[in-house]
Structure 1
Amino acid sequence: MDMDDSKKISNMNMIDMQKKFACLFLKRAMDIVGSIFAIIFFFPLLLLIMVAVKLDNPQANIFYGHERVGRDGVMFKCWKFRTMVPNAKELVEQFTEEQKKEYEENFKLKDDPRITKLGSFLRTTSMDELPQFYNILRGDMSLVGPRPIVPAELERYGRYKAVYLCVRPGLTGMWQVKGRSDTTYEQRISMDVEYVRNMSIYLDLVLIIQTVVKVIKKEGAY
């Protein structure tokens, strides 16, 4: 390889880095503008849900914050509207063997006895995740990205850990529009990796539009 070839490769790498930086900058700008707009647009609905959740169980908290793994491994509280009974953790011990196996495999249940009737409605309509626009505004999350996961799930990523940790987790992403809860865990990981490797503003916009369609159709949510 001569000096000219080395220079060309160096220039190409520099261009790739500049494109990546520009993409991340625009992505964060879109997150800030998008989350502010969403909070203002959904504010009446947010208030209505807050009242409904409180009336459903006056003694329980309106919001539920669960520790998730963010970019560079930084932990953050991922906020949702409460959809489960207050003693949800204790009820895990009462799961059947089949339920325990499903929970350990997917970190959720398709027919979870801990979910309230209101909570079931919020989940199937994805309205339980509206508080995550606050996470996006704070910089914990992005509008589009890999699914926010708990520390135990990170081990399932194996050699793809670094891929997950290099970006902010998203409110939506490939997993949400390509099967969501109807996919296997390995498929979810594959989709997260595919997104990070092909990340672009155009892809984000496409996934956001597809997400809106999925939410309206209530596909794959539970």
Structure 2
Amino acid sequence: MQLNRLIYTQERIGYKDKVFIIYKIRTMTNDKVTKIGKFLRETGLDELPQIINIIKRDMVLVGPRPLTPQDHKKFRRFTLSVKPGITGWWQIHGRNQNDIFQYDRQYIRTKSFWLDLYIILKTIPLVGLKRHG
């Protein structure tokens, strides 16, 4: 299988308004989520290629999720003061879309090495488990 058919890319806005390309495993064909894609999304495994974003220094392991250009226009805010992350405070608290910016703000206000370690330790058991939200 060709790599460009397996990996999906999208523009995101990160630290200090920097535009970068985020990587994910492709989960859709013709605007329809595949069965495997549904599993990958529910377990978060579709986000594994974002390790490339960490290597490229666009992202870190723990931080607020990077903004889409549309969200950046609506929520131009504080999160641009830190690098975005693969996991964060929101991800370990149920992933309710309505609460994401509240959790991002709380994380940024209380960011520390110990909080990051706590989030990583809470994330590990969640990787590969189905979740809703």
TM over 0.5: yes
Equivalent in 70, 84, 90 of residue 28 of structure 2: 84
Q: 1:206 to 1:165 in 2, by over 3 A?
A: same
Is 1:205 the equivalent of 2:117? yes
Query: 1:27-80 deviations in whole A, cap 9, x for unaligned?
Result: xxxxxxxxxxxxxxxxxxxxxxxxxxx3xxx7x711001101110111111101
DSSP-derived class of the 2:5 partner? coil
**1:179 positional shift:** 1.1
| Matched-pair identity in % | 41
How many residues matched? 133
CA–CA separation in structure 2 for the residues paired with 1:179 and 1:157? 21
- Identify the residue that residue 80 of structure 2 maps to in structure 1: 165
**Which residue type is aligned with residue 106 of structure 2?**
E
- Higher fraction of helix: 1
**1:154 positional shift:** 1.9
Structure possessing the higher radius of gyration over alpha carbons: 1
- Higher fraction of strand: 2
Query: 1:152-190 deviations in whole A, cap 9, x for unaligned?
Result: 1123325xx1x111111110001111011xx243x2101
CA RMSD of aligned residues (A): 1.9
CA–CA separation in structure 1 for the residues paired with 2:23 and 2:124? 20
Is 1:191 the equivalent of 2:103? yes
Please, which runs of 5 or more residues in structure 1 have no aligned partner? 1-53, 89-113
CA–CA separation in structure 2 for the residues paired with 1:156 and 1:203? 28
- Identify the residue that residue 70 of structure 2 maps to in structure 1: 152
**Which residue type is aligned with residue 73 of structure 1?**
D
CA–CA separation in structure 1 for the residues paired with 2:122 and 2:105? 19
DSSP-derived class of the 1:61 partner? helix
CA–CA separation in structure 1 for the residues paired with 2:87 and 2:132? 13
- Identify the residue that residue 220 of structure 1 maps to in structure 2: 132
CA–CA separation in structure 2 for the residues paired with 1:197 and 1:189? 12
**1:216 positional shift:** 4.6
Equivalent in 37, 40, 59 of residue 122 of structure 1: 40
CA–CA separation in structure 2 for the residues paired with 1:203 and 1:139? 21
Q: What TM-score do the two structures reach when normalised by structure 2?
A: 0.90
Q: 1:153 to 1:203 in 2, by over 3 A?
A: same
Q: Which has the higher contact order (CA 8 A, sep 6+)?
A: 2
Is 1:132 the equivalent of 2:50? yes
CA–CA separation in structure 2 for the residues paired with 1:211 and 1:137? 20
DSSP-derived class of the 2:111 partner? coil
CA–CA separation in structure 1 for the residues paired with 2:120 and 2:27? 24
